[in-house]
Amino acid sequence: MNRINQDFKSNKIDYQKATASLDTIKKLEMLKSEVDTATSSINDLNDSRTSFKKGQEFISNKSLKDGISEFKKMISDDENYAKAQELISTYTTEYKTTALKDAEQLSTITEYEKAISILSDVLVILPNDSDATAKKASYEKLNEEKKAVERKKKMEETKSTQEVLAESASITIQSTEYKSLYPDMIQVMVRNNTDKTVKNLEVSMLGYDSNGLPIKIKRNYGSESFEFIGIAENVNIIAKGTFGKGRGWELDESHDIKKVLAVVKEVEYYDGSKWTNPYYEYWLAENKVKPLH
């Protein structure tokens, strides 16, 4: 087996012949562990030689990143290992220079995610490169700022085009003495901005204490959560009409809520169509479990 291994290493026999010889020995159930070790060694060397060939092809096609990556897969027993290290050294500087330039050009047109992707690839090849690390951090910050601006714009667009709008929300006190019979309610005034009639709707509500801090909404049947989804059925809000006066969702006596924010989450019209408010997700992310601002 050592001879088979050495013959393959010195290129006296090819991969097929080497593995076939080892398979023959293995079939005789002789020295199984030694055969497995020799097979693994031959496979590793064969993979390394394959990587060298692939690396050369990538380099010749100017795919420097892929070429360097293939060279880095090689093992020290490979007769081309030293040459591969030289090629890595030669082309890494060129690859890095080109990548930094490409990333910079992308950043000038605010394509930060593409620039970050390029630099992430550089850091796979050069894990501790300070230039790529600094540039990547800079572009990540700029990308977050860009996304924040885009998100704000989208949020304002969805806010201004709501089909059904929660115009106001407040705590309505039905009685100061008989809370158990006439509990406080969250009242939400809703306006239908469409030409259709609203049949059912869902409203999301968030509560705040006297200091403007988030507080769980306690219902009169014991449940409590920071976000309460109120369902209103058969509301019959005509086109351009409003709903909510004298209506509401009852609260526990000890609710302690002083202020409420609300947004329509979903609507079902009488024609069977539905509208899911795209502004809802932005609204919730902006406000849930956060102080009033």
Q: Are residues 133 and 8 in the same domain?
A: yes
Q: Which helix (H) or strand (E) holds 25?
A: helix 15-27
> What is the C-alpha separation between 70 and 53, in angstroms, rounded?
9
Specify if 147 maps to a domain. no
Closest to 146 (Cα-Cα) out of 115, 100, 119: 115
Provide the domain count of the chain.
Answer: 2
CA distances from 205 to 1, 77, 192, 257 (A): 75, 67, 18, 12
Q: Return d(Cα 120, Cα 127) in angstroms, integer.
A: 9
pLDDT digits over 24-70, tens only? 655 555 556 676 777 788 888 899 999 999 999 999 999 999 999 99
Q: At what angle do helices 112-125 and 130-160 cross, to 10 degrees?
A: 150
**Whether 169 and 126 share a structural domain:** no
Decide if 133 is inside a domain.
yes
Name which residue leads in pLDDT, 19 or 98. 98
Residue 149 maps to a domain = no
**Looking at the structure, do residues 178 and 55 belong to the same domain, yes or no?**
no
According to the model, what pLDDT value does residue 36 have? 73
- pLDDT band at residue 115 using 50, 70 and 90 as cut-offs: very high
**Stated pTM of the model:** 0.69
Interhelix angle 32-60/2-9, rounded to 10 degrees, is 10
Share of the chain above pLDDT 70, in %: 88
Q: Using pLDDT thresholds of 50, 70 and 90, give the confidence band for residue 80.
A: very high
Q: Directed axis angle between helix 81-108 and helix 130-160, to 10°?
A: 40
The domain of 126 spans 2-139
Instruction: Say if residue 6 is in the same domain as residue 134.
Output: yes
CA dist 119 and 161 (Å) reads 39
Whether residue 148 is contained in a domain is answered as no
Residues 16 and 128 in one domain: yes
For residue 3, pLDDT over 90 is answered with no
Same domain, residue pair 215 and 132: no
**Phi-psi label, residue 248: left if phi above 0, alpha if psi -120 to 50, beta otherwise:** left
Show which of 139, 154, 181 is a domain's final residue: 139
